Amino acid sequence: MRRVAITGAGVVSPVGVGVPAFFAGLREARSGVGPIRAFDATGLATRIAAEVTGLDAAAAARDVPEPGRAALLRDRKSLFGLAAAREALADAFGARGPGPWHAPERVGVSVATGLEVFHLEDLAPHVQAGRIDGAALAAAVAAAPAGGHLQIPADLGARAIARAAGARALFAVNVSACAAGAQAIGAGWLAIRDGAADAVVAGGYDSMVNPLGVAGFCLLEALSRANDLGSAASRPFDAGRDGFVLGEGAGMVVLEELGAARARGATVHAELLGYGSTLDAYRVSDPVPGEAGAIAAMERALAAAGLAPGDVDYVNAHGTGTRKNDPAETRALRRVFGAAADRLPVSSTKSQIGHLIGAAGAVELVASIFALREQVLPATINLRERDPECDLDYVPNVPRRAAVRRVLSNSFGFGGQNAALVVGALREEA
């Protein structure tokens, strides 16, 4: 069986752009949550989010030819994805990219993303009394740059990433919502393990911090309304939690067949050991009673990694901060880890960066690499009052030094998709 190394990483997050800044944010237990600045959210029940600041959009879109460039500059999430992918590629291969070591036909891209961008301001001038003037809309669409008006397909960033990587093998764009980032990385892992590719840029990018995104989640009553708490609003596992806080950003890794990575003398950050995905098949917005889907996803990931539950040193939880998710995930962890769950550190980085939806699993995998590389567990910040139904060690408020060899990272989606990844320090054969 071929083994899969992680030889590059890139992050755009609300606590820092670039892996060093993201790691510093985790080390300092900083929050990226604050009042929404991307648009005027005054009338909404939720007016806070974890937004990205400090990304040089023009630099991220460099080398992208028109007409794609104009569209890219109107799509924050695609810019995040491309910036993170460039960082991961440079980390893995330097300035020359994968070319010197891998033929394009052996390089793939497997990325996750969220909803398309709907530029309401492009439609608004053509709406009168609830009807759309189609002739005027058609004229406006025809006059606008291709691909950058009204609706921007969500795979725009994925295509830019594939061009940047020179990838001609697998090209997969996963839109499984909150589980998408982990699933995309899992698909990259399978592609390398099973021989379909030798290197894959895998991860996720997303931003739903826009009028329709925030308003939509408000309609679902999924978001925290603790606007006054600001940076303390994202409170996974806390008794006072009242929903998740939207985040935005991107996480990308370069996966590479271990033998090829070693042959070229690459630095191996970690080894991707296993992946499992399942469906609840229950209800659209509720976890299934008994948590069978989440349990099966974790068990499959561990089995694929050839590990027992006792081999895991830390769990990066899905940990959204909703009333239903956190106790359900806690019960699922207790079922998988048994008595060892009492000694198992579990934390939610969503307390710091919010819920990045399609990018969540990918950025959280990079947070798991942080735990392995720095031997430090990221904290669950804003955890003040214990919820009796959430009774694990959540690494409250302060990062903790620990011996970390293997990490399980969970992602569970709205609609019932579950995904788990297992990542570990590179082990040498006996």
Q: Is 97 in the site for another protein (CB under 8 A)?
A: no
Strands 406-412 and 417-424, how do they pair?
antiparallel
Structure tokens at 327: 């106790």
How far is residue 29's CA from residue 338's CA, in Å, rounded to a whole number? 29
Which is nearer to another protein, 58 or 132 (by Cβ)? 132
Q: Is 116 in the site for another protein (CB under 8 A)?
A: yes
Of 58-66, 168-176, 376-384, 421-429: span binding another protein (CB under 8 A): 168-176
Q: Is 426 in the site for another protein (CB under 8 A)?
A: no
Which is nearer to another protein, 84 or 222 (by Cβ)? 222
Of 81-89, 91-99, 116-124, 312-320: span binding another protein (CB under 8 A): 116-124
CB of 164 closer than 8 Å to CB of 89: yes
Which is nearer to another protein, 24 or 127 (by Cβ)? 127
Give per-residue burial for 21-58: e unless 16+ CB within 10 Å, then b: ebbebbeebbbbbbebebeebeebbbbbbbbbeebeee
Of 87-95, 127-135, 223-231, 400-408: span binding another protein (CB under 8 A): 127-135
Cα angle vertex 146, ends 140, 151, to 5°?
Answer: 70
Least separation in angstroms between CB 191 and another protein: 9
Q: Is 269 in the site for another protein (CB under 8 A)?
A: no
Q: Is 120 in the site for another protein (CB under 8 A)?
A: yes
Per DSSP, 314 falls in state: E
Tokens 């982990």 -> residue: 182
Specify the DSSP element, H or E, that contains 266: none
User: Taking CB under 8 A as the criterion, which residues in 171-210 touch another protein?
Assistant: 171-177, 180, 183, 187, 190, 194, 196
Q: Is 299 in the site for another protein (CB under 8 A)?
A: no
Q: Is 52 in the site for another protein (CB under 8 A)?
A: no
Structure tokens at 62: 């460099």
Q: Is 168 in the site for another protein (CB under 8 A)?
A: yes
Structure tokens at 59: 């630099």
Residue 200's identity, in one-letter code, is: V
Q: Does the annotation mark 390 as catalytic?
A: no
Nearest CA among 234, 344, 256, 252 for reference residue 298: 344
Of 4-12, 134-142, 308-316, 398-406: span binding another protein (CB under 8 A): 134-142
Which is nearer to another protein, 281 or 339 (by Cβ)? 281
β-partners of residue 95 are: none
Pick the catalytic residue from 102, 126, 149, 355.
355
Q: Does the annotation mark 355 as catalytic?
A: yes
Q: Does the annotation mark 149 as catalytic?
A: no
Q: Which residues are catalytic?
A: 178, 318, 355
